[in-house]
Structure 1
């Protein structure tokens, strides 16, 4: 449901290397019969239940609300949509998506309020990592700079890196941070430490993503710190792309699509600044 609503809001889908939840395949295989057996919820107009359905459909008119009713959260209604539970305020103004990375939406503004709060925290955390500890691939005069948490084994990370020249041609500088998704002390971790210990980190990272990992050498690096920051910014899979403001832009995103997303974000920021009092 979260991805369905985010897609409706124009966000980029998250293509990233992460293990699927247990039982996901079974749930997908049984979805059609269960949905076919349910009738769409049709509450009386003007009620809180009706406003909850209207809020969901305002974010995405294509989804069906299977059930709506009282919520354990005072002031909210509980709705079942696309196999997920969502909570909508009784006045229909706010929608909350629980679970990992849960988000609170302002329905009328079609705005993810949780993302705004997280963005500021992400930026502060990333700023604690010295620039000298980032592996940077940038054009001469970048229009935008993004932070990418990467892993040398992840297929999507490798795909992104194979297109690094095109990202640069799009005016995008990539600042890589390490996130060995198999955990600290793993072979994956040791490979990333070897990269960060190499005299030419850019070449070492490119080689490692092409199964030519440099010989393991242990040295003083910030790989552990980068891994910790990745966890604290809400990373659940690699790659993770963040704008300069800390906004999550997706997992793997093609170069042209990423440039388009950055252009839209810049336009939104400019519009917001223009309407602020005293601006």
Structure 2
């Protein structure tokens, strides 16, 4: 028997992706400004193209430092001589500490999102809510739209953005200005039916949506957000989306 076969499938997936294993411990805190400056100097000295570091803190693994760069996490040693990209897994509980930190770093206030600027549709009772940033010419977005038809009891708010060129902007504006923008969006994304040209001028939220995406550091489409403020920065299987919806609904429900 292969040694890895004794682990559950989530752990096998993490191991195949590359990770650092640690025993149960606690986070110690951020580095001092002097320590951070010294670390930045060493890393950029050896790696001129190293991404900008926003913050750094120790981890439960002795000698391992977490570096935060935008929405990303990278690990290094206190002297900046080694760099690790991967997941930090606590062996005692099998918690993915990197994933938990990513959720914390990327947390948003779902209630503050301007949902009036989104195309809306729902399945079932629509009690669970999620937001998607999608470009009308994004192939992964079209695949996600089709996959989401399998998800029950969900309301989907889509902020249509135009990041793939002028045609994306034309389609986004035409879809928004049609009488039934939801149907026009779904017709295009699900069946490829070109949106009709809207008659007359119409104020659209495309520019605001693009600005919102930039503010939230949405670096590609599709990008998903859930009611608990967590995000999925790319397309994901239906079972993963279902898990995130369930987790977010439970968290929001307990908070209220």
Indicate whether the TM-score tops 0.5: yes
Give the deviation of 1:216 after TM superposition: 5.0
The two structures, once aligned, show a CA RMSD in angstroms of: 4.1
- Asked whether the equivalents of residues 208 and 214 of structure 1 are also in contact (C-alpha less than 8 Å), the reply is no
- Label 1:163 to 1:272 Cα distance change in 2 as closer, same or farther (>3 A): closer
State the distance in 2 between where 1:90 and 1:165 align.
Answer: 40
With over 3 angstroms needed to count, the CA separation of the structure-2 counterparts of 1:151 and 1:178, relative to structure 1, is same
Give how far 1:92 is off: 3.7
Deviation at 1:252, TM superposition (A): 1.7
Of residues 183, 189, 200, the one that matches 1:203 is 183
> 1:192-271 alignment to 2 at 5 Å?
192-209=172-189, 210-216=192-198, 218-266=201-249, 269=251
Structure 1 133/90 Cα, relative in aligned 2: closer, same or farther at 3 Å?
closer
User: In the superposition, relative to structure 1, how do residues 249 and 91 fare at CA in structure 2: closer, same or farther (>3 Å)?
Assistant: closer
Distance apart, 1:181 and its partner CA = 1.5
The verdict on how the C-alpha distance between 1:203 and 1:241 changes in structure 2, with shifts beyond 3 A counting, is same
Normalising by structure 1, what TM-score? 0.57
Q: Which stretches in structure 1 are left out of the alignment for 5+ residues?
A: 1-6, 12-54, 60-70, 274-279
Are 1:75 and 1:90, in contact at CA under 8 Å, matched by a contact in 2?
A: no
**Matching of residues 1-279 of structure 1 within 5 Å:** 56-58=20-22, 73-74=37-38, 89=58, 92=61, 95-103=65-73, 110=97, 112-113=100-101, 115-120=103-108, 122-123=109-110, 125-126=112-113, 129=114, 131-167=115-151, 169=152, 171-182=153-164, 186-209=166-189, 210-216=192-198, 218-266=201-249, 269=251
Question: For residue 51 of structure 1, what is the aligned residue in structure 2?
Answer: none
Q: Which runs of 5+ in 2 are unaligned?
A: 1-9, 24-34, 76-87
Aligned residues: 200
